[in-house]
Amino acid sequence: MSSKDSNRELRINEQIRVPQIRVIDSDGTQLGIMSPREALRIAESKGLDLVEIVPNAKPPVCKIIDYGKYKYEAQKKEKTQRKKQTVIEVKEIRFHPNTDEHDFEFKARHCRQFLLDGYKVKATVIYKGRELIYPEKGEEILNRLIEKVSDIARVESPPKFEGRAMTAILILDKSKVKKSN
């Protein structure tokens, strides 16, 4: 349930239609249980709104606050929570069992850059035809890559076969990056 949904459900001022409510002042002090009319009078004298915060409680809990400011704070809080939810994308680097040294170095540099940019890296060795009878070549390539980036990365999943490919997943190890700087 997003805060927009909860704001629609919140009842304010005259919308509160229960016989008794528990009232909390704007500074957080409890004013006790009273009628909504009495609480509304107190809120209006302070130039604030009476907002039903916990409608399911017995009696419902209402707070004397500025409703506009309350909505703004709730939206701001939701926005910061959305910012904290980062989706980590995965970049894939493909090798073959007979990948030459220069190609390996080139792809290892790309792997390092992807890791530093915050991506996970899925290193894949793809076997074609009869190459499948030499699985140790693919494992050797992946282990060399892991060793090459071990100063900034850690292995999330070690080399393993998936169909006609061997894969390993690497992720940036932030503790190692801080040590090297």
Could you report the per-residue pLDDT of 34-67, keeping only the tens digit for each?
888 888 888 888 888 888 888 888 888 989 888 8
Q: What is the structure's pLDDT at 179? A: 62
Q: List the chain domain ranges.
A: 3-82, 90-180
Q: What is the structure's pLDDT at 4? A: 44
Query: Domain 3-82 belongs to what topology?
Result: Ubiquitin-like (UB roll) (3.10.20)
| Cis peptide upstream of residue 19 (ω within 30 degrees of 0) | no
Task: Indicate the class that CATH gives domain 90-180.
Answer: alpha beta
Residue 107 sits at φ, ψ, to 5 deg, of: -70, -30
Q: Tell me the chain's radius of gyration from C-alpha atoms.
A: 30
Q: Of the spans 7-11, 23-27, 67-71, 164-168, which averages the highest pLDDT?
A: 164-168
What is the tens place of the pLDDT at every residue in 4-20? 444 457 788 888 888 88
Q: What is the structure's pLDDT at 100? A: 92
pLDDT at 113 over 50: yes
For residues 30 and 9, the model is more confident at: 30
Give Cα separations from 169 to 27, 90, 138 (angstroms). Answer: 51, 9, 14
Nearest to 19 by CA among 48, 64, 71, 62: 62
What is the tens place of the pLDDT at every residue in 154-164? 999 899 998 89
